[in-house]
Structure 1
Amino acid sequence: MKSKYFLFVMLAAAASSCRKYVDIKTQGSLVPKETSNYRYLLNYTYAYEQGPKLDDIASDDVQLVDGSNQVKALSGSDYYGWFPKAYLWNPVVYPIGNYQTDDAWNGMYNTILYCNTVIEEVPASTGGTAADKAELIAEAKVHRADAYLMLMNTYAKPYNTSTAGTDLGVPLVLVETTQQSLVRPSSQSVYTQIIADLNQALPNLLPQQSFNTIPSKASAYGELARCYLYMNDYANANKYADSALLTRSTLNDYSASSAFPLRKSDPEILLSKVASSGVGYQPTIMRLSDDLLNLLGTKDQRYVLFTKDAATFAASYTDAGGRFFSRDRINSEARNIGPNVPEMMLIKAEYYARTNDVGNALLWVNKLRQKRFKPADYTAATASTSADALKVVIDERHREFFCRMLRWWDMRRLKSEPAFQKTYTRVLGGVTYTLDPNSNRYVFQIPPYQVQLNPEMQQNP
């Protein structure tokens, strides 16, 4: 069946605007269909940065207090309805109605559309060298791969080698058209496409770029390492983490500074990505869970620098006590959720823990930890067995990536391992909600509005 409506109405509008951008007769320095126009299109970085915002809310990083003023603010407006629904792992987070548009789904598929425009149209463009064109296409393929990886880890089941051939992926849109099948391919098909895009991109990317919003070799290596980690292929994850670190390995020293570079120039970031719109408003500030705060401890600079008490944000929220995530407010910038240097280090640490090399696992964990404490407060992590080392690594991932998407992804991929299985509970409105390891709620539903427009697109259970 061919869909009459693409994934959402915005895509058709975006396709039109992209085509107009390169097709209309222009005056001055811009010439229709010139290769340089596509550089301007790729430099419109906002169109490529959007990622999930539900993942952090569903994770055990966040803990609302029933009856608190924040909960009243969230529950009293349809505009914020997605927050408590995601927090409670509701089957439907975006029911059809006012303010119930999934910005993340829309944003990631808009990114894919922009990328498809570049990939399809650049070869026939004029005025650019073969190398120029190859570089533009490579950058678009990295962005497209990233968007699909984020979509898969939000709206599809965690990767499982034995079932990936039959598990549903997300609609795989690879050409610039409003008429194509939206039947969901297998999970394996989507991951195969992600890996193919990244490998095809690598030879034509610059080693590094002036800004982290533009893909480089370091970006592609980082995306491959992340992709293979969430496919449970730890050897390949380690291989590409190595390649990424050979290209960029700078760590910010939290022990020495409370000032941080802008996201676009932060040396830790391999490719800048952010949570989609709606996370910057006062009611959606993330109150951190007791479990996370206990794991961090008060001497960890990640606690000192990235958490604040409620009064910092809203005096009325002090009724709930606790600490709130403040990283979004530093430099007035959204937090990065793209691949980064600490992530590569901890991917290597996990590989070593899973291959019974306790010494090297701890080596990589402690390389990171030394930059996360003041010297007087630093204590090296220790472990005597590979199982202990793996727990050390996973705990360090939790500390490093809280409220940055990856904790939810880790909860999903680890829920089948007995050492990390847990049933989570939350209370809101006097009702207790649970998330057990076998729950379907580890997968967000595709927004019902999109399914209504495209009935061939099978909904998640």
Structure 2
Amino acid sequence: MTHFKIPKATGLVLVAAASLGCNDLALDPYASISNDAYFQSMGDFRAAVVGVYDQISIADYYGRSIHLMSDIMGEDVKQNGSANRYQEFADFEGQVLTGHDYETELWAEGYEAVNMLNMIINSDFEPASALAQEYDQIRGEAYALRGLVHFDLVRMYAQHYTFTADASHPGVPIVLESDVTSLPERNSVGQVYAQAVADLQTGIGLMTQTRRGSYMMTREAAQALLSRIYLYMEDWSNAVSMADAVINSGKYSLVSGQAYVDQFATGGSSEAIFEIQNTDTDNRGSDSLGGMYRASGYGDYLPARDLLDLIDSDDIRMSMFEVDPGLTGIYAAHRVMKWPTASNTDNIPVIRLSEVYLNRAEANAQLGNAGEAQADLNLIRQRGLSTAADVTATGDALLDEILVERRIELGYEGHRIHDLMRYKLDINRVDVTGDVAFMGYPCNFCILPIPQEETDTNPNLSQNTGY
């Protein structure tokens, strides 16, 4: 394995560089040569960006870890009797630095993706005029993906945006170019969010094509992700604006009935905005996300009964769960079957249209636009259960209903812990089989530790509180 340190940040919005020596980020062979030597044709750019999509699909990133680690730190998952993978995060163990190193792997794979993206972005290449639009599209995808990866890293390894009044608390390093000699410090959370927004906005300005539907970044996917980021920033007006852009594009529509159940296994549905594709020949195998829940896989994690109690028995979303007669006692009786295929070919959502509607509903509710928020909430709720009563709540009660709907609709897609933290709520596990039933806010262990090998080799890199 080739070792290198994370390059010093030279950001669009930064005054100084931020932090960290990353010794275990493996460089692909092409990453060890100069951009000019590697990028000599459009074919090189096409191959490079496909390599990034493959990179973020691995089990240590979107293929499993980022969704699973987020969910097992929340309320909606309980461990089976033999669970050990990721168990240290489920039980909020402050000594996870000596565990399975899942936090090291996510960190390493995220920054390897950033390195690959920087090569595309920073390359000095002039395409033929006939290829200029495709070239801009690929560079736009690279910018948007770099924004996404930085956002993913900061939400996993740092406290939420409003943890401090000015988002000045430690985030993660912003990496915009390679410098193997740097030992940078951590940028603030506010700086990382600003960089992610800037990159996504740049990508939106460059992208004009849709190359492989929901399996590649598009202008609308970047806008959808911005609706989420602005929501986390409590920039309600911009969250509404970005959600409006996606919904009003006319390119997406909600699916219902059996199509709702099938969308994760078949992929490419009309509500899939950006998702990780798995195929018969390219999938995560036994390391798949679904395999952590299914009896045909490891089956380490089970749905909490208090989440199931929130879902009407006639709601189509109950089809995401299956009764397993082999589960007894405190482990009974359901399994998560959102990703049901034993061949591990289910697609993993990064962002779906239903989330965009819920983002807009929450932002409008915060802005006092109760009618608009109720309409979007009704759309999602009644898509699941056509007989559900119209929402009439306003104010805090309306926000509570939106958060419950997010819990149901976006379950096991890595959202609940982030929703709890940004609303500064305690974690109350009603149905719990592990060691911890309650974790009060603020929560030191609801974010991952900075990998120990990084803090050991870079004296400028601070560890998260409690680890």
Given the two structures, how large is their TM-score scaled by the length of structure 2? 0.82
Cα offset for 1:199? Answer: 1.1
Code of the residue aligned with 1:355 in structure 2: it is L
Higher mean C-alpha displacement, 48-57 vs 127-136? 127-136
What do you get for the CA RMSD once the two structures are aligned? 3.0
Asked whether the equivalents of residues 92 and 436 of structure 2 are also in contact (C-alpha less than 8 Å), the reply is no
In structure 2, what is the equivalent of residue 159 of structure 1? 161
Q: State how far apart, in whole Å, the 1-side matches of 2:134 and 2:436 are.
A: 57
Q: Deviations over 1:118-177 (max 9, x none)?
A: 1112x3365574433322211001111111111111111110285445201111111134
Partner residue of 2:335 out of 317, 324, 343: 324
| Number of residues of Structure 1 aligned to a counterpart in Structure 2 | 426
Asked whether the equivalents of residues 5 and 453 of structure 1 are also in contact (C-alpha less than 8 Å), the reply is no
Partner residue of 2:321 out of 304, 307, 310: 307
Cα offset for 1:20? Answer: 5.9
In structure 1, what is the equivalent of residue 298 of structure 2? 283
Asked whether the equivalents of residues 33 and 126 of structure 1 are also in contact (C-alpha less than 8 Å), the reply is no
Helix, strand or coil at the partner of 1:74 = coil
Q: State how far apart, in whole Å, the 2-side matches of 1:152 and 1:99 are.
A: 18
Cα offset for 1:381? Answer: 3.8
Helix, strand or coil at the partner of 1:272 = strand
Cα offset for 1:333? Answer: 3.4
In structure 2, what is the equivalent of residue 356 of structure 1? 368
Asked whether the equivalents of residues 26 and 112 of structure 2 are also in contact (C-alpha less than 8 Å), the reply is no
Q: State how far apart, in whole Å, the 2-side matches of 1:161 and 1:455 are.
A: 25
In structure 1, what is the equivalent of residue 462 of structure 2? 458
Asked whether the equivalents of residues 118 and 137 of structure 1 are also in contact (C-alpha less than 8 Å), the reply is yes
Higher mean C-alpha displacement, 106-115 vs 340-349? 106-115
User: Cα–Cα, structure 1 residues 273 and 182, in superposed 2: closer, same or farther, change >3 Å?
Assistant: farther
In structure 2, what is the equivalent of residue 28 of structure 1? none
Cα offset for 1:434? Answer: 3.0
Cα offset for 1:240? Answer: 0.4
User: Cα–Cα, structure 1 residues 262 and 293, in superposed 2: closer, same or farther, change >3 Å?
Assistant: closer
Helix, strand or coil at the partner of 2:49 = helix
Cα offset for 1:270? Answer: 1.6
Helix, strand or coil at the partner of 2:75 = coil
In structure 2, what is the equivalent of residue 338 of structure 1? 350
Q: Deviations over 1:367-396 (max 9, x none)?
A: 1223223x4xx2134224322221111111
In structure 1, what is the equivalent of residue 405 of structure 2? 396
Q: Within 5 A, what are the aligned runs for 1:8-407?
A: 8-14=22-28, 16-19=29-32, 33-44=40-51, 45-49=53-57, 50-51=61-62, 52=66, 53-64=68-79, 70-71=80-81, 73-75=82-84, 80=85, 83-95=86-98, 102-121=104-123, 123-124=124-125, 129-160=131-162, 163-206=165-208, 208-247=210-249, 248-254=251-257, 258-260=261-263, 265-273=268-276, 277=287, 279=289, 280-281=291-292, 282-304=297-319, 306-311=320-325, 315=326, 320-330=331-341, 332-334=344-346, 336-373=348-385, 375=386, 378-407=387-416
Code of the residue aligned with 1:333 in structure 2: it is T
Unaligned runs of 5+ in 2: 7-20, 279-283
Cα offset for 1:218? Answer: 0.6
Asked whether the equivalents of residues 364 and 372 of structure 2 are also in contact (C-alpha less than 8 Å), the reply is yes
Asked whether the equivalents of residues 357 and 386 of structure 1 are also in contact (C-alpha less than 8 Å), the reply is no
Greater percentage in helix: 1
Helix, strand or coil at the partner of 1:252 = coil
Identity of aligned residues (%): 20
Cα offset for 1:100? Answer: 5.6
Asked whether the equivalents of residues 420 and 427 of structure 2 are also in contact (C-alpha less than 8 Å), the reply is no
Cα offset for 1:364? Answer: 0.7
Helix, strand or coil at the partner of 1:124 = coil
Code of the residue aligned with 2:350 in structure 1: it is G
Q: State how far apart, in whole Å, the 2-side matches of 1:177 and 1:86 are.
A: 32
Cα offset for 1:348? Answer: 1.4
Q: State how far apart, in whole Å, the 1-side matches of 2:143 and 2:203 are.
A: 6
